[in-house]
Every structure is written in C-alpha cells, then in structure tokens.
Amino acid sequence: MSIRPWRDIDRRQSRRIRVGDVEVGGGAPISVQTMTNTLTHDADATIRQVQACAEAGADIVRVSCPDEASTAALKDIVRAVDVPIVADIHFHYKRAIEAARSGAACLRINPGNIGDAARVREVVQAAKDHGCAMRIGVNAGSLEKHLLEKYAEPCPEAMVESALEHAKILEDNDFFEFKISVKASDVFLTAAAYHALADACDYPLHLGVTEAGGLRAGTIKSAIGLGNLLWSGIGDTLRVSLSADPVEEVKVGFDILKSLNLRHKGVTIISCPSCARQGFDVIKTVGVLEERLAHISTPLTLSIIGCVVNGPGEARETDFGFTGGGAGSGMVYVSGVQDHKMANENMVDHLVGLIEDAAEKRQAEIDAEKASAKAAAE
C-alpha cells in the first residue's frame, strides 16, 4: 500500500558513515542492531547466535571483547557470518587495536576512557588502517567523574557534554567515521539527551533505551522512548536492549520501525482484539499466522478482523484480508477488494498460500528493480 504524505517523518539530516557494508546516517534506512550474550571467546556459540540474529533480520551485531581471547576469536566469527560485527570495547586500548585487526567493522568505545593521547592515536590509526568505524557510547550510569561533580547527577547536559568531549578527541585525530549514542534507562532522560545531541552535531545517532528490562516491560519502554525520537526524525540506527533472547530485540526493533512506516520487513498483521461479535477465534488465528508467516521478509500487510463492523474498512488498506461473517465462513480480500469467500477452517492455509505466492512475486520485482538500478549506475 502507498504511504500517505501525512504519515511521512522528516528525518534529521546527518552525515553518513559505513559499518561494514551497512550505511548509517545520511538518509540511509534505519538499521537494526542487537548484541550477543555468549562468551565471545566461544566462537562456535557466538557464531550460532549471530547467525540466528541475522536470520531474524539484524543488520549489525555487536559482541563484547573484554579480553585477548575474545578479540582472537573475532577473526573466526567475522569470517563465518554475513553481517558486520561491532566489537564492544571499554577500557583497554589494545583490545580495540586487536579487534580492528581481527576484522571488526566498528568499535564501540569511549576514546577518553582508553588512556593518553598516544594510545588514542594508536586506536584511531588501527581503525583507519582496517576500515573500521567507531561508536561513542555514552551511558547515564557510567558518566565521567568530572561531569558528575559539575552537574551533581546524570542529566541531558552531562550526557551531551560527555559525547562531544569524546567526539572532539576523534576529530582532533582527523577521524570522522563515527556515530554517537547517549543512553539511559530512564525514558525521559534518554529522549532529552538525544534531542539535545541532535541539535548539537550532525553525526549519525545510535538510539537505545539501555537496560530497558524484560521482554514485555522492556518492549513497551523502548517503544515509547525510541518511538518518541524516531517520530521526531531522530535516529539512524537502533538497538532495543532487553533481558531476553537477542533475536527478540531484532523483532521488536523492526516492529517499532514498521509502526512508524520507517522500514518495512515481513508481514504486518492488523488484527482486532476480538469480542463477542467474532465469527472465528481471532486470537488463536493470529498466533498461528504470525508463526507460519515469520519466514517471509518481503513487506506485505494482512488484516484479520473477527466481524464485519471494522473488517471491510481495514481490509481496504491491506494487501490481503479476512473478515468474519458468520455461518462458518468469511470474506477474503485481495488488494483491498472483496475477492472470494472461504471457510473458517481452511482460512489459515489459504491465506498463507496467497501471501507466500505474493511475496515471491513481489521479491522478484524488487530484485529486478535493484538489478536495473545497479546496471544504470554502472
């Protein structure tokens, strides 16, 4: 379906960098990231988790590199996966250099935390030599002592000042391939810090509400915090931080972007909460459809409405739809138009078949358009 002008979001203009083969900022699609929770030196376990996240759609995956064994394993991890890998570095500058040499596409680092100017220069040179980007990661829970003394507590001003101090260190070393995050576990603090930082610089911004919580509570908190920022046009890449399987972070990230029409991946199901008017078990049907359509990455929309009160209107706005009518059957809509009736008991298999066929055709069209664009550019 086409996107109406009043659904458009005017995105903040930022400079563009590359994380491996993924473009970040400068109007590029907002990328979805996650982070592994395996021990990185266990390369096999980490590779399996990265691959699972990539299968769910992750554009970029971060791994922690706290020791030399982890940066050594990074070589095997990078070779085995198809997504760019970010190495999470905290204090030891040698880990950053080792990660860059091992093929990391990006270093998550705070330059001011890794030592004197000479060490920073070594890290920057390693990043330049190996085509490695960086992310300055400011966290309200680990602000520098001088900023806490100045502001008395974590606040937007302190977080932005920290980010810009770290950015200046990289700028002074003639390095500009970096993005910035200013995360907090408090939604209000997070949003205020990102709004202030967006006004203060043009670097691409990595969004996140850190330590958001478990799957349900963390999803809600992230949707509110990230949704607020994205709706304001702020954000070039994001990670949803959940105490859950990293794959769930990827799913929630894409759902947030889809809700704002910022990125479309897979089948978006519009469904009613169900009530006494329903002509079939809506809740069970939607659960089954979500599972059976999870393998489709092509953007499509499907409405599942239990009765004819809102069903026809919703179906007009989706690629496919099913509206319960009673007497054991309902109406199937195709491209917003009534097409044929279908027995409730056969509805799931029938819709899955229709959507799989449509996804295959649409993907072929998308691939043909990309090939044509590539040929024209060459």
> Where residue 329 sits, what CATH number does that domain have?
3.30.413.10
Q: Provide the number of structural domains found in the chain.
A: 2
Same domain flag for 159 and 275: no
Residue 287: pLDDT above 60?
Answer: yes
Same domain flag for 225 and 366: no
- Distance from first CA to last CA of the chain, Å, rounded? 31
Task: Tell me the percentage of the chain whose pLDDT exceeds 90.
Answer: 83
Map residue 111 onto helix, strand or coil. helix
Tell me the per-residue pLDDT of 208-233, one tens digit each, with 9 for 90 and over: 999 999 999 999 999 999 999 999 99
Tell me the per-residue pLDDT of 107-145, one tens digit each, with 9 for 90 and over: 999 877 787 889 989 999 999 999 999 999 999 998 999
Same domain flag for 284 and 241: no
**Four-point Cα dihedral 116, 118, 124, 127, nearest 10:** -110
The residue among 226, 274, 229, 287 whose CA lies nearest residue 252 is: 226
Same domain flag for 278 and 354: yes
Instruction: Evaluate whether residue 4 is within a structural domain.
Output: no
The whole-number average pLDDT for the span 241-267 is 94
Tell me the per-residue pLDDT of 168-193, one tens digit each, with 9 for 90 and over: 999 999 999 999 999 999 999 999 99
Please give the C-alpha separations between residue 77 and each of 21, 61, 80, 93, 134, in angstroms, as whole numbers.
16, 11, 5, 21, 19
Tell me the per-residue pLDDT of 69-108, one tens digit each, with 9 for 90 and over: 999 999 999 999 999 999 999 888 999 999 999 999 999 9
What is the model's pLDDT at position 265? 87
Please give the C-alpha separations between residue 58 and each of 3, 154, 216, 251, 293, in angstroms, as whole numbers.
24, 31, 20, 9, 18
The residue among 140, 134, 84, 85 whose CA lies nearest residue 114 is: 134
Task: Say which residue, 363 or 19, is predicted with more confidence.
Answer: 19
Q: Which CATH number is 221's domain given?
A: 3.20.20.20
Decide which of 232, 259, 286 is a domain's last residue: 259
The whole-number average pLDDT for the span 5-28 is 92
Domain extent at residue 302: 267-373
Same domain flag for 154 and 290: no
Decide which of 208, 242, 259 is a domain's last residue: 259
Instruction: Evaluate whether residue 80 is within a structural domain.
Output: yes
The residue among 136, 135, 81 whose CA lies nearest residue 103 is: 81
Tell me the per-residue pLDDT of 307-360, one tens digit each, with 9 for 90 and over: 988 889 999 999 999 998 778 999 999 999 999 999 999 999 999 999 999 999
Find out whether 44 and 37 touch, Cβ atoms under 8 Å: no
Same domain flag for 272 and 246: no
What is the model's pLDDT at position 176? 97
Distance CA 169, CA 27 (A): 26
What is the model's pLDDT at position 3? 54
Same domain flag for 233 and 316: no
Instruction: Evaluate whether residue 2 is within a structural domain.
Output: no
Find out whether 345 and 328 touch, Cβ atoms under 8 Å: yes
Can you tell me which residue has the tokens 């090939």?
Answer: 371
Angle at the Cα of 230 from the Cα atoms of 7 and 311, rounded to 5 degrees:
40
The residue among 179, 186, 262, 180 whose CA lies nearest residue 225 is: 186
Same domain flag for 144 and 36: yes
Residue 235: pLDDT above 90?
Answer: yes
Can you tell me which residue has the tokens 């001003």?
Answer: 157
Instruction: Evaluate whether residue 199 is within a structural domain.
Output: yes
Decide which of 241, 259, 277 is a domain's last residue: 259
pTM above 0.75, yes or no: yes
**pLDDT band at 1; cut points 50, 70, 90:** very low
